[in-house]
Structure 1
Amino acid sequence: MRLLADSHVLIRWAENPAQLTPAARAAIADPNNEVFMSAASLWEIGLKVAKGKLRVPANFAQMLRLGGFADLPVHARHAERALTLHPVHGDPFGRMLVAQALEEGLTLVSCDQWIASYGMRQIVA
């Protein structure tokens, strides 16, 4: 399975994986699965760090890479897809992750309930 971890999932995985559901932990830890972290998530986390709303290690992204997470860049096709999504939620980062997951055929690992309205594959985190 190919997974895309939401921003809050990346933070919880790095800080305390027990905060995630057993299904999310098992899917992320499964060596047969490919798990991605979006550049959009790293940007969102960086903005929160810059505003003093969040603290993560300076090498946060590298820690995740060493833990098996692969980079997913944001491409123009992702932005175009995000523009076509009906506005269920105002979070631009969340909408980008939905667009990336739909475009790339990924299952989104997230605790956000509004994602279900897009009719996509999700593992509740």
Structure 2
Amino acid sequence: MRYLLDTHIFLWWLVDQPKLSEATKRVIAASDNEIYVSAASTWEMIIKSAIGKLSLPPSPQGFIREQLRINRMLPLPITIEHSLALATLPMIHKDPFDRMLIAQTIFERMVLITDDPVINSYPVTVFSAE
């Protein structure tokens, strides 16, 4: 199965956040699942780190790359098709990063791991992280 991690789920995984359910941990850790992290999430983390809303190590780009490698997670680039898919989404969710994750999940036929209840308003397959 192919899963896309919401940005906060990726971060929760890295710090072993207690909010992350055991079922979610099993899905992420299962060797037969493909776990993806979107370029939208790395973009969001870099921006939030730069403005002081997220604490990352001094070299966030190196840290993120290393965590993807260590955790055997796959990068998901943002394509033109993903951007165009945004046009089909109603303006329920206002966060541009989450909207891109939703578009990518739908377009790529993945399952999005999140605990954001607003995302359930879209025609997307969600695995609830809590």
Aligned equivalent of 1:63, options 50, 63, 67: 67
Structure 2: runs of 5 or more not aligned: none
Deviations 1:56-114 (A, max 9, x none): 23312321222111010000000000122001110000000000010111000001101
**Aligned position for 2:28:** 28
* 1:1-125 alignment, distance < 5 Å: 1-57=1-57, 58=59, 59-125=63-129
Aligned length: 125
- RMSD of the TM alignment (CA)? 1.1
Q: Indicate conservation of the 8 Å contact 2:40/2:78, yes or no.
A: yes
Runs of 4+ residues deviating >6 angstroms: none
What SS does the corresponding residue of 2:94 show, helix, strand or coil?
Answer: coil
8 A Cα contact 1:107 1:123, kept in partner: yes
Aligned partner of residue 18 in structure 2, secondary structure: helix
Give 5+ residue unaligned stretches, structure 1.
Answer: none
TM-score normalised to the size of structure 2? 0.91
Q: How many percent identity over aligned positions?
A: 38
TM-fit CA distance, 1:119 = 2.6
**2 CA distance for matches of 1:26 and 1:17?**
14
